[in-house]
Amino acid sequence: MPGGSILIYLMRRDLRTADNPILYKLSSTEHGFTHLLPVYILPPDQIEVSGLVKDGKKSPYPPARYDLSQRWKCGHLRAKFIAESLWDLKRNLENLGSGLVIRVGSFDDILNGMIQHYAANQHGPQVTAVWMTEDYAPDQRREEQAVSAICEARGIRFDRLYDVKYFMHDLQLPEAKTSIDCLPDSFHLFWRALNTEAEKPLDPFPVPARFSLPSFPDHASLPLQESPFEIPGTLEELIQKMQSPVHLPMVHLDRPELRDTAIPQALLGGETRGQQRVGYIIKKGIVSSYHLLSDDVHVGDAYHGLLSYLSLGCITARQVHQELLKLECGTDPGLAQTLGFGRGCSAGTESIRYHLLVLNFIRLSIVKHGSELYNLEGAGMGKNPLKTWKSSVIRDLDRPGQAVDNVVSMTQFLMGLTGFGLVDAIMRQLYITGQVTARGEEIAIGFFALYAGFDWRYGAEYVSSLSTVHDPFFYFYSSQNYAGVGPSCEAKDSHISLAEISQQVDPDGTFIRVWMPELRSFPRRKNVYRVSTTASSLLQRYGLASSIMVTHEVPSAAETGPFTETTNARRDPIENIAALARREDRPIPTESIRAPGGLEELGPRLGFGDRIHLEAPLGLAEPNELPQGPPPSSRGPSLPSRSGRGAAKAQVASTTGTPAPPAEATVRWNSMALEQINPLALHPVTAPPPPLRYHPYVHNLDFLFCQLLLMHTFRHIGSRP
């Protein structure tokens, strides 16, 4: 082509220059391209981009929230990690004589705009090909399909190259030679099927030599970012703009001692930092003793911390393997003083490789099951349509207090205020550091789904939103398995004993006390494990007598027997019968739903008539979005502290004459500043808030804080189908 040929390299989760299949191919083979244009697109359906709009403008894209919980898909810590990774990649590409263009928008819009931009200058270089690495998640596959359709329509060559960031190449795996449907759902069966030869990863590609890549297009001719977005010129500004719309302030975690704890554990994004992290955990001997940390929930210095880098492709698993070989074979003199130097494979290094192979297996499982991993009923052999779950959207408002109770409990889990020290410490650590160990995630999701009985998808979205790991389906897969309905079937029909687990993973309560400063003075471990077991005199002394962890401890699913939901298979017909009875202002005809598998599925007979309380999921939005307007009139009694649960049930049972509410209710809250309330104090920080009409128990400020966090989010529900 007279003006030159441009190859557009769309980068996603391959943010590295070393062991990069596309850069290696371009630097080592004949390709015919005169220019290379690496592009990273910030997808508005996965990352919130409203902070990058120009002043006075509005984003044309809807908020990047999960449909169910309304949490941000990409939280503030991951936004920072992605920004740092992009800036590091940009610097590394520039050192090779190339560059990186960052844009905001959908893949098809950005790619169409770039192709049209160069086509407008007939004497200049033209886009002749688009390359990208393959990805496995449903969102990424939709992006590949959109790019493929555009290239096909414009007669441009489109190639997808296999991403080599996994421990094992697909060609080394038996399932790749047959069909993905032959992949076993159990990792242990998958592991046994591997032969010895297949367990040897391929060598990583080297970094391309300087100026070995096709030329980067002239900056003056680069396509501009379309309005209303603009890309900042500094890393600090990019981080600030990406974090501003998704930051979730939590007053009770804004403590100097927690910030000081988090600083040593903070991970900076990027290929350079990822390689440094690999070198650090090897030189410090962390990998040599990693097999001893299978039950560890602390993400401190001894935690490998590689998952965030691996998920974005800042480093590859086979790069980690190559560095482990230098330790085991004794080929790096700089490791001579490191534990295990020159002694071959150890239990610790094999444990690291084991975890890298697990990531390989999870990727293949996501390819096999796809969007089924988001189904409430489960996926694969663990699928269970008769499993019951608690959720929190208000469809049946005969008993609104129960739905509010569920939302409060879910919010307590998110904020680390459940009253169970180990679970709260894990969630606080996740919020502050963006990291959670596999064992910590298992405990948190096990508590949320198996102990409390909540819809496991909420927990998966909470953890994914707060984590720096840019792979939501990774958490859907693991959470579904921890909830007992996943493909592996390993947790099916299992139960969780928090007392036993707490003693096992934190025998002296050290981990809990690190992340829960308010419990550090408690002398007895059982009080640290479960705050409500503390004597009232001690609670008064330490200022926790009115804490929500004491007055509104998250209950187990067994404690909510009469309010347990019906099975998914029976839900719709029961809801229709109940709704018709309310519209006609008559008792629910329970005899019509007492057929085999009818009311029995609801759990114990209700002790206050035959009222049926059904719920559906309620989304939680962010606390910085306070809707305007007066509070609603009261719709009956609200739920008090746990000690008054029996009285509350009896009170609701005796309530009559309540007008039938609409099918979908939007609860609005009066404008109130969250910063006025400190949930761990006994009094407001500044001026007291106006009295609450929806919930009368305002003496408990922890409970009030949770109410504020959830009430102003209900406005999202009114627009949902």
The Cα–Cα gap between 223 and 515 comes to 47
Q: Look-up: residue for tokens 């590091």?
A: 88
58 within 8 A of 228, measured Cβ to Cβ: yes
Q: Which of 459, 462, 452 is nearest to 486 (CA)?
A: 459
Q: What are phi and psi of 184, to 5 degrees?
A: -70, 150
In order of 66, 69, 246, 700, the CA distances from 705 in angstroms are 23, 19, 19, 9
The Cα–Cα gap between 69 and 618 comes to 7
Collapsed DSSP state (helix, strand, coil) of residue 288:
helix
Structure letter (DSSP) for residue 73:
S
The Cα–Cα gap between 415 and 622 comes to 12
Q: Could you tell me the two tokens for 535?
A: 């004597």
304 within 8 A of 437, measured Cβ to Cβ: no
694 within 8 A of 405, measured Cβ to Cβ: no
The Cα–Cα gap between 62 and 520 comes to 43
- Taking each helix axis from N to C end, the angle separating 421-433 and 438-445, rounded to the nearest 10 degrees, works out to 120
125 within 8 A of 34, measured Cβ to Cβ: yes
ω into 228 cis (within 30 of 0): yes
In order of 280, 305, 438, the CA distances from 299 in angstroms are 15, 7, 10
Q: Look-up: residue for tokens 């005809």?
A: 589
- H, E, C per residue of 187-227: HHHHHHHCCCHHHCCCCCCCCCCCCCCCECCCHHHCCCCCC
The Cα–Cα gap between 45 and 131 comes to 22
Structure letter (DSSP) for residue 689:
P
Q: Could you tell me the two tokens for 490?
A: 């390993």
Q: Is 290 annotated as a binding residue?
A: yes
Collapsed DSSP state (helix, strand, coil) of residue 141:
helix
- H, E, C per residue of 595-651: CCCCHHHHCCCCCCCCCCCCCECCCCCCCCCCCCCCCCCCCCCCCCCHHHHHHHHHH
Q: Could you tell me the two tokens for 500?
A: 């036993």
The Cα–Cα gap between 237 and 589 comes to 61
The Cα–Cα gap between 314 and 334 comes to 24
The Cα–Cα gap between 598 and 601 comes to 6
Q: Which of 251, 248, 249 is nearest to 680 (CA)?
A: 251
Q: Could you tell me the two tokens for 589?
A: 């005809």
Burial class from Cβ neighbours inside 10 Å (0-12, 13-18, 19+) for residue 95 reads exposed
Structure letter (DSSP) for residue 660:
P
580 within 8 A of 593, measured Cβ to Cβ: no
202 within 8 A of 170, measured Cβ to Cβ: no
Binding site residue list: 290
Binding site residue list for FAD: 290
